Every structure is written in C-alpha cells, then in structure tokens.
Amino acid sequence: MNFFEQQDHAHRESKKLIFLFILAVIAIVITINLSLALLWQWYSAGQPGGGRLPAGFYLMTSVAVLLCIGAGTAFEMFRLRDGGDAVAQMAGGRLVAPDSRDMHERRLLNVVEEMSLAAGIACPNVYLLDEEDAINAFAAGYHQNEAVVAVTRGTLHRLTRDELQGVVAHEFSHILNGDMRMNIQLIGVLFGIQMLALFGRGLIEWGARFGGSRNRDDKGPPIGLVMLAAGVVLFVLGYLGIFFGRLIQSAVSRQREFLADASAVQFTRNPQGIGGALQKIGGLTEETGCGSAIQSQRAEQLSHLFLGAARPNFLSGLFATHPPLEERLQRVYGRQVRFVQAEELNDNEFSDTPAAASGFAAAASAPVSASTSAFPSGGNQDVQWGHHRNAATASGTAFPQAAASATDDMSLLQSACREPQSARALMCALLLDVTQLQAYQLQWQYIQQAAPELATQVKTLQIALANSGNSARLHWIDLAMPALKSCSEQQKASLLQLVAQLTGADGKLSENEFVLQTVLERRLSPNAARAVKVRYADLTMLKAETVLLISLLLSGSASQRAQGFAAASAVLPALRLQPTDLRVFAQPGQLDYQEVRQALVQLNQLAPLAKPLLIRAMLAAAQAQQGLDDQRQQELLRGVCAAIDVPIPDLHSMRDTLQH
C-alpha cells in the first residue's frame, strides 16, 4: 500500500471514528434523559400528579447536557486559542530561539528547517521539553501556518541525526495530513464531557451535605438525596463518556500513527530514521522503563499527540493511543527487528552532518546545516518539489563554482532568517528590483520612511542575495517564518504594508512580486492561523478560477500552451474543459492580479481533499510543457500552494500518480 492509499484509508477510518464519537455524545444525552426521568418519577411519586414529567422535560434536559458539554469544550478551546504554542506550553515546553547556538538545539532547528523547506510550508516554532528524559515528540496547532514541533530532551541527546530527522518527519506528517486540528478538538470535546462528571461531583457533595432536608410537604425522598442520586448519575455517566471518548480517541490516534510512520519513511527515504528512533524507545523502555513516558501532569490529556505512548495503560489494547512498538517496527522494516540501547550520545558521536540517505529533506539540508553551504538553485526541480536526491549529490551540484564569498553570503542569509529584525529586512531585500532605476529609488524611499532601522541590513542582504543568484526566494520566506511570527502584531502589519508599497513602486505587479506578497500575507496576516471555512465541495463549483490559474501557469507558443492545457484537462474530467476555455495573456506582467488573488481566496475555501486535485492538474500542465524544469512555473506553483494552504507535493509520487 503506497503513501496515498494509506492516506486515503486513514482519512476514511478517522471519519468513521469521529462519527462514533458523535454517537457516544448522543448516547450520553439519551442515557442522562432516561436516568433523570426515573429520578423525577421517584421524587414526585408521593405528590399530586406524581410520576408525570413536566412539559418539555426531555428537551430541556438534552439542551442542558449539550450546553454543559459545549461550555466545557468552549472553555478548553479558549485556553488553547493560541493553538500549537498553547499546547506546547501546557506540556511544559520551552520555545527554542531561532538563533540558538546550543549544539543540540541548533541541530534540531536545522532538521526542522530542512523539513519545512522540502515540504514548502512555513517553518514551525520549535519547543523543547527540558524536564523529559524519554524519547518523544509531538506536533500541535490549528493550522500549518501556526504549527509547532516539540521534542523531549531525551530525543535530542539519545538520537542520531538520521533518527532525529525520522522523528521530525513523523511529526511533519501530522502537520501535512491535518491531524493537529482534529487532535486539539478531541482535547476540547473530552474536557466538555468531563464537565458532566465534575458537575455530578458537585451535586454529590451538595447532596451529602444536605441529605436530610425534605420537601415542603414532608412527602417523598429528601431533596438532598435526590440531588445525591442525580450527582451519582452524572458522575458515572460523565466518566463513562470519558471512557468511551478515550476509547475512540485512542483508535483515531492509532490510525494516524501508522500513517505518520509510513509518511516518515516516504519523506526521508530512510526507514532507519523513524525505525531507529522506535527501536531506541523500546530499548529504553526495557532498560529503565522510561521509553517514551512523559512525566508532565498533562501527559494523559495530551497522550494522543505524542510520537510514542506518553503513559502506560492497563488496558493497552483498548486505550493505547499508539500501536505496539513491535507492530510499528514490523510495518517500517517489513520484518521483525530487535530493540536497541538508547544511551546518550557523547560529543564524539554527536554530529550535525546531513543524512546521507536520499529523502524528503536530504537535499534541502544544504542551506541550513552548519556543515554545508550549498543552497538549492531555483532550477533544481528535485529540491523544489519534494523528490530529493542524495544530500551529497545535491550539495555538490547546487553551486559547483561557488567561491568562499558565496559561502559567506549564504551564512549571512541563513543568520538573517533567525532574528526578527533581520528577517524583516530580508523580506524587503527580496522585493528590491535593480533593473528599473526609478522604481528602485522609490522603493528605497519607502524603506527609509517606514523602517529606517532596517535600511543598512536591507542593503547588505540585497548584495548577498545578488551574489547567491537570487534563487529560491520562497525558501528564504519559509526559513524566516519563526522569526517573523515572533514579531509583534504591529510589526507584522507594518511589514505587510511596506511589502505592498515595494511591490507597487513601479505601478504594476510582476509575477514574482505577486507570489512573494501572497505568501507573506497568507502567513502573517491576523487571519493566518485560522482555519478557512469550506464553501465549495469540489472544483466543478470553481471552474473559472481553476482555468485562470492553469492558464496563468502556461507559457510558450500557442501549441505548447494548448498541450499543457489538454494535460490539465485530462486530470479534471469532471470540469469538461474545452480548448476554447484556455485564457491567453499576451503580457502576463500586466495582468490584473487582483483577479488572481480573488480566485485564490475562493480556491482556499475548497474541501481539503479537492485542493490536491487542483495542484495535480497544474503539475500535469507544467510537466507537459517543461517537465517541471521551468523556474517560473515552480515558484508560481509554490505560491499557489502557500495561498491555498496546500503543502508542496512529493514530485516523485505525483509523477507516478499522473502517469497512472
């Protein structure tokens, strides 16, 4: 079963399990209704008209129960409103500074940066659980634009670079496959169900205190006793709800862990990465019992987020949030393997040399690793689009004529990505256009007026970008995201306003400027971390917008454009595209990009499973024309992916899919 089949299977299974979760809530409501109805009949049996339920009893009870669950869920979701950062802090995590010089932290940051470059998504914030000696990690957040990756101290100190990369790849799978939002929502709903039990416990305490009080006519059971019984009902049913909720939550988590393990192998092309980490978890468990165990008080609540089981469970088969290590290793290696020891690495064993295996991030490691200075050129399709070759090969061919000064420029640009002020300066430098003197002078006026403190850095970084060939502009944005996201809201707004001024200095918007501005706005605007509401089920509802993007991507002669459009049409048979639908732009540089921007806003409201079909069609069109070697098409595709919140696909797998 290949990656895409596993992904589809996991999505279908998860939907079934979530449906069961809804049924569990309905069962709780029904059971509480029936139980309270019996209590009411018992309480009112000795009164006139006793045994008769008040009008609207079931409706009011159902509303009250749902409100209790909803209020608890809302309260917990409010506490987690900051998404991944809030969850990481809840687990006891410490934010790792993007410019950290600690040897272990630097290696972790490098690996995370590699993965974000290869995936084509914003580099997430990185947290370290300093008090946890186990080998474990998790990804959390509502949206890929505000995701975080957190690892334990034991992960940093016990895993080799290959194994660390496998662990990070596993967590990136949770980001790319949309598991994070569902995981946080499950936390909220379970807390809401727990509110019933907490309310029941309060009634039990109240009933025990006033158990002897009787009703006014001294008939029927004491009110306190009734409250005590009602409290017991709510308490028992609340925890039964938690029981079944955790049962379903665990089943959801196990499905996603199998997919994430498969994705880690797919991304890194190296089963020893995630496999070695799982072997060491098993070995550490046998040796010390530590394994993947998390000591935080929130471990049980957050258990389904982690790479490995955060807490042992006596009903491991039912409540295990993770499949058995033996079964996971069997799937990774295709055979049974032994656990291995997980001793802490000494300084001689510690290395930040990029993995020698071919994989999702191997080639992308070049721009961020301390051991190499190469950066993937804009024309390197394998690096740009997810099918990565051997790291040594990639780094050896990116800039074969690179001199020491180019190495210094790359180091300067890398450093600029890791500090908020210099990251803002780098964004400005990416938009400077020296080919048009008048517009260039106007751009500098805007910088001097809006951000004079950045001017010196902008000039230095502009020179460094020119020396590096101005390649892979979007990669620098991906790398700079943690530093940019740490800016204040006012600084972000000022930067976006300055970017708009810089792109409009010449009175028109070029394709490159449009792509850069679109990516920055999608990732730094106040709505960047919010999930977009789904309004369109499939591409048939957005035919005109789909045609616009495919037409914008195509270039060359009329016959070449027609060939590319035909290839895209074959991927989208439901749209019934005709050759006459192709739009022709005589001068793309003068296109009104406001129309394109509006199209992207609407396409971002597609159902999640419909978005990859659009990218697949655009890839087919590009491949039919240039074989995906054209830098313009690559950057435009990356910009579209960022605008509609779709990670850059694995080009190798996408090619296989297109061929079939």
Active site residues: 171
Rounded-to-integer distance, Cα 292 and Cα 138, Å: 11
CA torsion sign for 260, 264, 266, 270 is negative
Q: How crowded is the C-beta side of 573, counted as CA atoms within 13 Å?
A: 1
Q: Note the residue count of the chain.
A: 660
Among 203, 205, 196, 310, smallest CA distance to 249 is for 310
Tokens of 253: 């988590």
108: Cβ contacts below 8 Å, ≥ 6 apart: 96, 126, 128, 151, 156, 164, 168
* 648 touches 612 (CB < 8 A): no
- Residue listed under structure tokens 């990656």: 3
Which residues touch 233 (CB under 8 Å, ≥6 apart)? 32, 35, 36, 39, 200
Q: Are 651 and 620 in contact (CB under 8 A)?
A: no
Place of tokens 């027609």: 562
Strand order in the sheet with 125-129: 94-95, 125-129, 148-152, 137-140
C-alpha distances in angstroms, 370 versus 228, 311, 365, 374? 65, 36, 9, 10
- 594 CB neighbour count, 10 Å cutoff: 10
Comparing CA positions, the residue from 650, 637, 644 lying closest to residue 118 is 650
CB 424 within 8 A of CB 454: yes
Asked if 511 and 148 count as a contact pair (C-beta separation under 8 A), the reply is no
Contacts of 505 (CB under 8 A, 6+ apart): 433, 439, 440, 442, 443, 446
